[in-house]
Each structure stands twice: as C-alpha cells, then as structure tokens.
Amino acid sequence: MTGMFDMRMLRQIDHDKYFCDGLHVFECPCEKKSSFTNDDVSHACHLYMDAQQEIQDSGMFDTTDDFTFVLQPFFNGITIPPLKPDGEVNLDWFAPDCFHFSKLGHANVAKHLWNNIVQPVGSKNTVVNLSDPTIPLNCPDTSCPFIRTTKNSADCSKYMTK
C-alpha cells in the first residue's frame, strides 16, 4: 500500500492560484476553514499514516508465504510540493484539478514507489524530494532479489533457490 501524503501540502499548491483554490474549496470546504489549521490537517493525515503502519505491524497478513501487506511510506514525511528552481510550485506535476498527479507527476512518483518497493521493510525511505525528477531507479539487492516483504526482509535466505 502506498502511504498517504501530508495534505497540508495542498494549501501550498493552492496559494495564489485562483482556479486551484476555488476548485478545492468546492471539493473540500474544510480546506478554507481557518479553524482547520495546517497542523490540524497534518495531524489527521498522520493519524491515517499511523493506522496504515499498524496494519503492517500487526502481522495479520504475514501468515502465509504467498500474500502480505507492505506499506510503501515514501510520502509520509513530505510537506513541500514539487518546486521549480525559482521556488514556485511546479504545477506541471499536477492534473488540471491541481490535486491528482499529471503524467510527469505519476512518472516521478512511480520511480519513488519502485525504489521503496525494493527497500527492506523497516529501512524504507519516508521522505523523498519530489522536486528532483532525475532520481535513479534502484535495483533489488543481489542478496535478496525480490520485492521486499516483512518475511524476506527479516531472512531472505530461506526464499532463495539454488
């Protein structure tokens, strides 16, 4: 499961963007409530992230070798949207609704997702730089050339064949 990102970022994307701001207020009126602060938005998102982590940590999906639940938390620590070199929000990353990713955004996020997938459980990146589209794709570790799960992250040797 891909982790949720901190939605406080949405207010930065909307800042001084009349169309984005108007659309998001229509879709989610709570976004413009001054009583619903950035800290409140962030807290709600982090409660959701914590619940995702609890599902993985419970081990309830680690009872067989052919199914599991692994959180890919690379969004968890991101609070800054993708930026242009001049510091402005890079709206090229977003679809016309200023929320969902565009083709460019999806391509970059997919690289971060892949890199998270091949990292061992417990050692996954929780913060990435969305402003850098040049990140390389990582290869699986040769000592454990699999998509990482809780089980093979703890002991990959029993899943290796000769």
Q: Give the pLDDT confidence of 49-101 residue by residue, as tens digits.
A: 999 999 999 999 999 888 999 999 999 988 889 999 999 999 999 988 888 89
**Distance in angstroms (rounded) separating the CA atoms of residues 66 and 63:** 9
Query: If pLDDT is split at 50, 70 and 90, which confidence band does 19 have?
Result: low
For residue 73, give the H/E element and its range: none
pTM for this model (two decimals): 0.87
**Distance in angstroms (rounded) separating the CA atoms of residues 119 and 111:** 13
Burial of 62 (C-beta count, 10 Å sphere; 0-12/13-18/19+)? middle
Quote helix, strand, coil % in the chain, to nearest 5.
40, 5, 55
Give the three-state DSSP class for 89: strand
Query: If pLDDT is split at 50, 70 and 90, which confidence band does 118 have?
Result: very high
Asked whether the predicted pLDDT for residue 13 surpasses 80, the reply is no
Tell me which DSSP letter residue 2 carries: B
Burial of 1 (C-beta count, 10 Å sphere; 0-12/13-18/19+)? exposed
**Distance in angstroms (rounded) separating the CA atoms of residues 41 and 52:** 17
**Distance in angstroms (rounded) separating the CA atoms of residues 43 and 99:** 19
Q: Sign of dihedral through CA atoms 148, 151, 157, 158?
A: negative
